[in-house]
Amino acid sequence: MNPYDNKICTTVPEKSTTKNNYPFVKKRRTIKCNVDAAFFNNNLIIGYGICFRNSSGVLILGKSGYYYSSTTVLEAETIGLLEAIKEAISTGMQAVRFETDCKTIPDALSVNNIPQNEFGDLIAQCKSLLLNRPDFVVSYARKQANRVAHSIARASLCHPNPHIFNVVPSTLYSLIMNEMA
């Protein structure tokens, strides 16, 4: 049994039949993961924030971390996504919808032509992890929908690296409650 089952709401239909062979729609459990990045110290440090929630908005898991690296915004956002995918796989999550406020990332993941640069290398790593996970989807979300992940990214330097939390920090409580309303 998946340890996240008791925190996940059902939302994705999956066809099935009863013992009488009457078709019905069985619900498949989904998790939403918002991902964002932030820059510090004249862009020499990048922080990422990850927020896994069920469809009711209840926090399942959050993670922050940072790297000493001079990267582009696009690369930083992709590093955050890569970390989120790795976290979902390592914790045994299923049916995850990753959301980023950088539209270029889902677009790059959906084409075969990968750029020959650092961004392309990160996209290739993401694609490799997603290849065997058809229940993982990456999509674009407006910046307003990513406030919690952005706040986690902004606070990434204030925590040990990486920092995982299963309880809503008091600094994020009002943001999460507003998004749930």
- Pair type for strands 59-68 and 96-100: unpaired
Q: Tell me how far apart the alpha carbons of residues 146 and 168 are, in angstroms, rounded to a whole number.
A: 16
pLDDT at residue 12, rounded to an integer = 40
Residue-range domain boundaries for the chain: 30-180
pLDDT at residue 139, rounded to an integer = 94
**pLDDT tens per residue, range 135-166:** 999 999 886 666 777 777 777 777 777 878 77
Phi, psi of 16 (to 5 degrees): -155, 175
Low-confidence ranges of the chain (pLDDT < 50): 1-20, 24-26, 181
pLDDT at residue 88, rounded to an integer = 96
Q: Tell me how far apart the alpha carbons of residues 18 and 65 are, in angstroms, rounded to a whole number.
A: 46
Q: How many residues does the chain have?
A: 181
Q: Is the pTM of this model over 0.85?
A: no
The verdict on whether omega for the bond into residue 160 sits within 30 degrees of 0, i.e. cis, is no
pLDDT at residue 161, rounded to an integer = 77
Class of CATH domain 30-180: alpha beta
